């Protein structure tokens, strides 16, 4: 056998573990097969087996006694183990019996422990419920003491901490309801206190406004006393800077003084309560509605006229109301928005402006308007001090200037009426120096003359100028040391001055025309001339004062404005002169109505008509006496108008459609009347009347009716030239009356003249068509 196989067999023999020996056998067998030494290996293994069997037998012989002893001992142990097992079984039986008793006792103990836990739990729940009830009782007591916020805090504490401990109990829902009701009660009580506060505040608002008005007015008076020169020379400062200067004098607390005290605590509490409950936004909306509703109650229900007591109370309440809004805005951030307050202020201004203007323009008392304006100015300064926009109030004050001006014109209109009623409509006589200084010197610059002296105008002029002077002085009273209105008054007074002259003085004088006779009308025309100097001078003074206040040139726009008054006076003179010749023309028409012409007469006359013999002396008296005081150009205007009307009336008389033909004798009589009127016109002491040849149309009418020369009718151009002042329609009427006197018989001697007239009629009719 190879050494390697032998060593491998020996190595296996040294292995004590049977398992390891068996593990090496496959390799040993494989190796023996490879070397063809299976027999050698088998023999070697048998040898080793025999040796081991001999070794086992030796070991058994050596250890047999010990083994027998061990078996005996094992038997003894087995018996004792059996005995012990019996004892254990008995003991187990006893233990099981005791365990059942112990289990019962343990169950009883557990039951007792559960009962104890339930008792402790009930005790805790009871204590928790008592704590909740005690807390709610404390909250209710605080609510009754109007300590709303602590009451809410307790409710919140109960809801967040204590209420969780009693969750699941029936009382839990009741407590929740109680908390909700208590929160509602707190909210309602706070709102009730707020409404009571708002109601009491409404009564205090006039006092708040009164204090502000008083302080502002005192500051204004102090300022006006110290800086009065700035009111007469407004160019030194702007009105805005002067307003601010006034406000610098004011330092007071309108809500905490001797007269009134306003505590905002109810509002603070209400805001805190609603903020704590998380419903501040709804409260803000509700509060805004309440404030808007309250401002509606400030305005008087029916203001049909200026009731100073009512208006004063209203404006003071408005001032107090807005001051409270201002303090709420400042003291409670994020509660009231600036836009909400401004919206309320805008609504108040709308109502204020609409109501004031409605009654102001129907008011005739200037004193009432001034006092109302003073209240508005005080409100404006008060609101400006608290940062509110006051431009609309200023505009309202400016609009009141118009109302004041209208009332002032009505007030002084009575003075005009008295002057008109008492005037003699004759030149005024100045008897002494006092009358001259009072009636003449302030308004006219007359050349020196000894007293007594006579002036061309009547006393009405002086009295009206005095009234106008008073009107301007009283108009300036509207500003009443008001810096903001001084410039506006100076701006408007020239316009009202002109309006007063145009619509009150001149229009009222025009209304007098029907009541005045011709001499009075002539004096009135002279008065219109006399008005020019004082009225223009007073207006220039007003315009220069306005221009100086605005820092402009003194003469700017003065002449252009004065032309309005001059034009008004000129129109008034023209209307007066027109009224004069209308009166004369009516009298002429009356005389013409007495005319008794016999157009078919065959008897000639050499004397003028009777109605002319009565009318001409009347006109001579009018011209020489009644109108003697008129200036020459005005007399010429009246003369020309009246004579022209007389000429037209005579032509209309001749053109009467009832006249079918005019006889030669009637035409000759008519020519006598024309010559009589021409003689009268030539004797009028006015060369312009003589040159005017007022009765040329009448003369041409007479010449046309008496024309015997057939050549006058044969040549159309010559006819038109000789009778150029006659209107074609008049010529047609006269020619129709003339042709009726000529025979249409072809054998008649009048036939050629008739044919010539017919040709003329054809030409004139063609022209008129």
Q: Which residue has the higher pLDDT, 613 or 719?
A: 613
Q: Which band of pLDDT confidence, cut at 50, 70 and 90, is reported for residue 466?
A: very high
DSSP, res 429: E
Output the six-digit token pair for 507.
Answer: 């229009």
Mean pLDDT, residues 638-653 taken together: 86
First to last CA, the chain: 181
Cβ-contact 178, 289 below 8 angstroms: no
Cβ-contact 732, 768 below 8 angstroms: yes
Q: How far is CA 633 from CA 525, 566, 569, 640, in A?
A: 12, 18, 16, 10
What is 617-679 written as a DSSP string?
HHHHHIIIIITTTS-HHHHHHHHHHHHHHHHHHHHHHHT-TT-----HHHHHHHHHHHHHHHH
How much of the chain, in percent, has pLDDT values that exceed 90?
A: 9
Mean pLDDT, residues 685-694 taken together: 62
DSSP, res 453: E
Say how many residues make up the chain: 769
**SS3 at position 516:** coil
The Cβ of residue 182 has, within 10 Å, a number of other Cβ atoms equal to 19
Query: In the predicted model, is pLDDT for residue 608 greater than 60?
Result: yes
Query: In the predicted model, is pLDDT for residue 562 greater than 70?
Result: no
Note the Cα 465 to chain centre separation in Å.
40
Alpha-carbon dihedral angle through residues 65, 71, 75, 80, given to the nearest 10 degrees: 90
Mean pLDDT, residues 201-211 taken together: 88
The H or E element containing residue 248 is helix 239-248
Q: Which residue has the higher pLDDT, 655 or 207?
A: 207
Mean pLDDT, residues 267-285 taken together: 88
> Considering Cα of 312, then 313, then 314, then 316, what sign does the dihedral take?
positive
- Cis peptide before 756, with omega less than 30 degrees from 0? no
Q: Which residues contact 1 (CB under 8 A, 6 or more apart)?
A: 37, 40, 41, 44
Q: Which band of pLDDT confidence, cut at 50, 70 and 90, is reported for residue 239?
A: very low
Question: Using CA atoms, how far apart are residues 242 and 396, in angstroms rounded to an integer?
Answer: 19
Output the six-digit token pair for 90.
Answer: 């008995």
Query: In the predicted model, is pLDDT for residue 249 greater than 50?
Result: no
The H or E element containing residue 430 is strand 429-430
Backbone angles phi, psi at 16, to 5 degrees: -85, -30
β-partners of residue 256 are 261
Q: Which residue has the higher pLDDT, 121 or 744?
A: 121
pLDDT tens track for 671-681: 888 888 888 88
User: Which pLDDT score is estimated for 564?
Assistant: 82
Note the Cα 541 to chain centre separation in Å.
35
Flag whether the pTM goes above 0.95: no
Residue position matching structure tokens 């509700």:
286
Query: In the predicted model, is pLDDT for residue 731 greater than 80?
Result: no
pLDDT tens track for 130-186: 887 888 888 888 888 888 888 888 888 877 777 677 776 777 788 778 888 888 888
Closest CA to 512 of 460, 439, 568, 434: 460
- Number of Cα atoms under 13 Å in the Cβ half of residue 518: 22
pLDDT tens track for 564-577: 888 989 999 999 99
User: Which pLDDT score is estimated for 688?
Assistant: 60
User: Which pLDDT score is estimated for 463?
Assistant: 93
* C-alpha R_g of the chain: 67
Q: Strand pairing of 453-454 and 429-430?
A: antiparallel
Closest CA to 184 of 279, 266, 265, 281: 279
Output the six-digit token pair for 459.
Answer: 């006393």
Q: How far is CA 6 from CA 19, 36, 461, 678, in A?
A: 20, 13, 177, 199
Residue position matching structure tokens 């315009």:
543
pLDDT tens track for 486-497: 788 888 888 888
Q: Which residues contact 25 (CB under 8 A, 6 or more apart)?
A: 12
Inter-residue long-range contacts of 213-216, CB under 8 Å, 24+ positions, other chains counted: 213/315, 213/316, 213/319, 213/375, 213/378, 213/379, 213/382, 215/250, 215/252, 215/254, 216/246, 216/250, 216/378, 216/381, 216/382, 216/385
> Considering Cα of 10, then 11, then 12, then 16, what sign does the dihedral take?
positive
User: Which pLDDT score is estimated for 157?
Assistant: 81
> Average model confidence (pLDDT) for the chain?
81
Q: Which band of pLDDT confidence, cut at 50, 70 and 90, is reported for residue 481?
A: low
Which domains can be identified in the chain, with CATH numbers?
1-118 (no CATH), 188-233+240-388 (no CATH), 407-549+561-574 (1.10.357.30), 576-768 (1.20.58.670)
Q: Which band of pLDDT confidence, cut at 50, 70 and 90, is reported for residue 241?
A: very low
User: Which pLDDT score is estimated for 745?
Assistant: 55
Task: Judge residue 635's burial from the number of C-beta atoms within 10 Å of its C-beta, 0-12 exposed, 13-18 middle, 19 or more buried.
Answer: buried
The H or E element containing residue 454 is strand 453-454
Q: Which band of pLDDT confidence, cut at 50, 70 and 90, is reported for residue 280?
A: confident
Question: Using CA atoms, how far apart are residues 361 and 411, in angstroms rounded to an integer?
Answer: 14
Query: In the predicted model, is pLDDT for residue 368 greater than 50?
Result: yes
Q: Which residue has the higher pLDDT, 122 or 464?
A: 464
pLDDT tens track for 318-341: 999 999 989 888 888 888 888 888
Query: In the predicted model, is pLDDT for residue 554 greater than 60?
Result: no
Question: Using CA atoms, how far apart are residues 161 and 316, in angstroms rounded to an integer?
Answer: 52
User: Which pLDDT score is estimated for 236?
Assistant: 41
Q: Which band of pLDDT confidence, cut at 50, 70 and 90, is reported for residue 699?
A: confident
Cβ-contact 49, 13 below 8 angstroms: no
The Cβ of residue 657 has, within 10 Å, a number of other Cβ atoms equal to 6
Cβ-contact 314, 298 below 8 angstroms: yes
User: Which pLDDT score is estimated for 557?
Assistant: 52
Q: Which band of pLDDT confidence, cut at 50, 70 and 90, is reported for residue 727?
A: confident
User: Which pLDDT score is estimated for 540?
Assistant: 86
Residue position matching structure tokens 């097969």:
33
Q: Which residue has the higher pLDDT, 739 or 689?
A: 739
Q: Which residue has the higher pLDDT, 109 or 223?
A: 109
Cβ-contact 579, 521 below 8 angstroms: yes
User: Which pLDDT score is estimated for 238?
Assistant: 43
What is 327-382 written as a DSSP string?
HHHHHSTTTS-HHHHHHHHHHHHHHHHHHHHHHHTT---HHHHHHHHHHHHHHHHH
Note the Cα 549 to chain centre separation in Å.
29
User: Which pLDDT score is estimated for 752?
Assistant: 65
Question: Using CA atoms, how far apart are residues 600 and 613, in angstroms rounded to an integer?
Answer: 22
């Amino acid at each position: 056998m190879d050494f390697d196989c032998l060593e491998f067999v020996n190595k296996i023999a040294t292995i004590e573990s049977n398992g390891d020996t068996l593990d090496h056998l496959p390799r040993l067998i494989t190796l023996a097969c490879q070397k063809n030494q299976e027999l050698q290996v088998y023999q070697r293994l048998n040898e080793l087996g025999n040796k081991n069997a001999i070794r086992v037998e030796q070991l058994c012989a050596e250890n047999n006694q010990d083994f027998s002893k061990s078996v005996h001992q094992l038997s003894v142990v087995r018996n004792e183990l059996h005995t012990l097992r019996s004892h254990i079984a008995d003991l187990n039986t006893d233990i099981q019996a005791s365990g059942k008793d112990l289990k019962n006792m343990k169950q009883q103990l557990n039951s007792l422990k559960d009962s104890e836990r339930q008792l402790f739990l009930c005790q805790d729940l009871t204590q928790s419920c008592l704590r909740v009830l005690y807390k709610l009782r404390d909250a209710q007591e605080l609510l009754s003491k109007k300590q709303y916020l602590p009451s809410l805090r307790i409710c919140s504490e109960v809801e967040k901490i204590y209420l969780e401990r009693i969750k699941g109990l029936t009382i839990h829902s009741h407590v929740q309801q109680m908390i909700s009701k208590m929160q509602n009660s707190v909210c309602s009580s706070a709102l009730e206190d707020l409404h009571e506060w708002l109601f009491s505040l409404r009564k205090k608002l006039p006092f708040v406004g009164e204090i502000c008005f008083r302080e502002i007015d005192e500051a204004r008076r102090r300022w006006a006393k110290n800086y009065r020169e700035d009111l007469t020379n407004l160019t030194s400062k702007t009105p805005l800077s002067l307003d601010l200067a006034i406000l610098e004098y004011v330092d007071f607390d309108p809500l905490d003084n001797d007269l009134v005290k306003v505590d905002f605590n109810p509002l603070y509490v209400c805001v805190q309560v609603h903020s704590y409950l998380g419903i501040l936004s709804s409260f803000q909306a509700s509060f805004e509605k309440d404030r808007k509703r309250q401002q509606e109650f400030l305005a008087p229900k029916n203001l049909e006229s200026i009731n100073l007591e009512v208006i004063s109370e209203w404006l003071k309440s408005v001032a107090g109301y807005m001051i409270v809004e201002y303090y709420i805005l400042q003291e409670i951030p994020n509660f009231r928005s600036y836009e909400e307050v401004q919206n309320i202020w805008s609504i108040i201004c709308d109502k204020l402006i609409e109501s004031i203007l409605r009654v102001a323009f129907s008011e005739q008392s200037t004193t009432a308007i001034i006092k109302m304006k003073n209240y508005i100015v005080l409100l404006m300064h008060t609101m400006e001090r608290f940062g509110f926009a006051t431009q609309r109030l200023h505009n309202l004050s400016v609009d009141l200037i118009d109302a004041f001006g209208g009332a002032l014109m009505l007030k002084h209109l009575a003075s005009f009426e008295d002057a008109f009623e008492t005037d003699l409509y004759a030149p005024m006589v100045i008897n002494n120096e006092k009358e001259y200084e009072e009636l003449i010197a302030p308004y006219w610059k007359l050349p020196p003359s000894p007293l007594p002296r006579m002036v061309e105008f009547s006393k009405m002029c002086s009295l009206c100028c005095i009234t106008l002077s008073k009107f301007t002085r009283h108009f300036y009273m509207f500003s009443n040391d008001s810096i903001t209105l001084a410039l506006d008054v100076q701006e408007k007074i020239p316009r009202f001055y002109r309006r007063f002259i145009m619509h009150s003085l001149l229009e009222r004088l025009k209304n007098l025309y029907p009541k005045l006779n011709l001499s009075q009308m002539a004096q009135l025309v002279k008065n219109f001339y006399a008005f020019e100097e004082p009225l223009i001078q007073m207006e220039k003074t007003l315009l220069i004062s306005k221009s100086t206040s605005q820092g402009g040139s003194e003469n700017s726009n003065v002449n252009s404005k004065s032309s309005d008054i001059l034009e008004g006076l000129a129109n008034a003179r023209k209307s007066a002169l027109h009224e004069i010749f209308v009166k004369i023309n009516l009298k002429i028409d009356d005389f013409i109505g007495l005319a008794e012409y016999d157009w078919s007469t065959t008897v000639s006359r050499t004397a003028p008509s009777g109605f002319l013999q009565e009318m001409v002396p009347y006109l001579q008296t009018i011209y020489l006496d009644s109108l003697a005081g008129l200036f020459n150009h005005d007399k010429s205007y009246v003369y020309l108008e009246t004579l022209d009307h007389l000429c037209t009336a005579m032509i209309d008389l001749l053109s009467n459609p009832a006249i079918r033909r005019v006889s030669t004798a009637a035409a000759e009589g008519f020519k006598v009347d024309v010559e009589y009127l021409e003689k009268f016109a030539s004797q009028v002491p006015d060369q312009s009347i003589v040159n005017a040849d007022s009765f040329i149309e009448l003369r041409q009418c007479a010449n046309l009716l008496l024309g015997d020369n057939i050549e006058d009718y044969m040549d159309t151009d010559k006819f038109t030239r000789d009778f150029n002042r006659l209107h074609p329609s008049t010529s047609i009427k006269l020619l129709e009356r003339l042709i009726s006197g000529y025979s249409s018989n072809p054998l008649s001697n009048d036939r050629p003249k008739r044919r010539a007239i017919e040709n003329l009629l054809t030409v004139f009719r063609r022209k008129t068509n």
